[in-house]
Amino acid sequence: MRPLPGLSEIESIAAELCSVVPPTPQISWPLLNARAGCELWVKHENHTAIGSFKIRGALNYVNQLMAREPRVAGVIAATRGNFGQAVTFAAARRGIPATIVVPRGNSAEKNRAMRALGADLLEHGEDFQAALIRSRELAAERHLHWVPSFHRDLVWGIAVSALDFLRRTPELDLVYAPIGMGSGVCALIAARDALRLPTRIVGVASLQAPAIALSYDAGRVVAAAASTRIADGMACSEPDGEALGHILSGAERIVRVSDDQTEAAMRAYFSDTHNVAEGAAGAALAAILGEGAAVRGKRVGVVFTGGNVDSGTFARVLAAS
């Protein structure tokens, strides 16, 4: 398992990325504090140019790729939406084409956003895993560079925001982060360790996408089908082994939340802050709201990972209140 970045590495990457993606706000909302029973600080990664935390990871990945392979013909990746937007955004800045593979029935609005950024969008398979396999096949067939969903360069870029979060808030007792393929939570672990803070990091998994929680409990990669209706950014059926290793060594535990809890938290975000949360962002807040005494009276952080949810889906979530 390769080491996570240290303080000097993260600061060096920050110097490159902050002119492209300025630091996002972190806000302690009084209504959310009252609801959660703690001093809650929200890192608003929904305020980036693509509405998601993944943007800095992709920018760093493509920057490092171009330094190694300046004549790369193009990149290809699989996604449910946010990662595809990030890769396409980063590739466009360097003048290279991006091919993005999504499963059939993927979010229409996320698909439209990726195309608007310049992606050549292809639909394949019924779930993310099928799209992932096809993206690797196409990389070989078309001589494109395949961008993995978890990679050290992605983590190092995302760690720029994690470092900003932990530096600019009062010292946090706990931070909660949703887990898909693991780049976000690993970035938090890297930043926490780089700053030598005692902050405990809690991962959040969907009950309807339990692979990462099962893997954490078993101490090894365990595959499990994902069937979440709302947290598509967490719909991973087979965790990355390197990511799991860092999570096992750096996260205190993993909390599981249901789709119903996630949707209730999305409503809470809108009611208390008027921010639109996608499922993964809602899941992290749902975990905090379900923790009770574990967070009561503490200073807690949460990563608002993104706000990219289809309008029809969000309307249904709000109507269910």
How far apart CA 212 and CA 203 sit, in angstroms, is: 9
Task: Enumerate the β-bridge partners of residue 253.
Answer: 202
How far apart CA 305 and CA 122 sit, in angstroms, is: 25
**Alpha-helical regions (H) of 123-252:** 128-142, 152-168, 183-195, 211-218, 241-250
How far apart CA 257 and CA 176 sit, in angstroms, is: 12
Instruction: Tell me the average confidence (pLDDT) per consecutive run of 10 residues in the chain, 321 residues long.
Output: 89 96 98 98 98 98 96 96 96 98 93 97 92 96 97 97 98 98 97 98 97 98 95 92 98 98 98 98 98 96 97 96 74
Per-residue pLDDT at 128: 86
Per-residue pLDDT at 2: 82
Do domains 7-53+152-319 and 55-146 share one topology? The answer is yes
Per-residue pLDDT at 58: 98
- Strand ranges of the sheet holding 253-257, from the earlier edge strand across to the other edge: 26-27, 39-44, 299-304, 174-178, 200-206, 253-257
Q: What is the CATH number of domain 7-53+152-319?
A: 3.40.50.1100
Q: What is the CATH number of domain 55-146?
A: 3.40.50.1100
How far apart CA 139 and CA 223 sit, in angstroms, is: 24
Domain regions of the chain by residue span:
7-53+152-319, 55-146
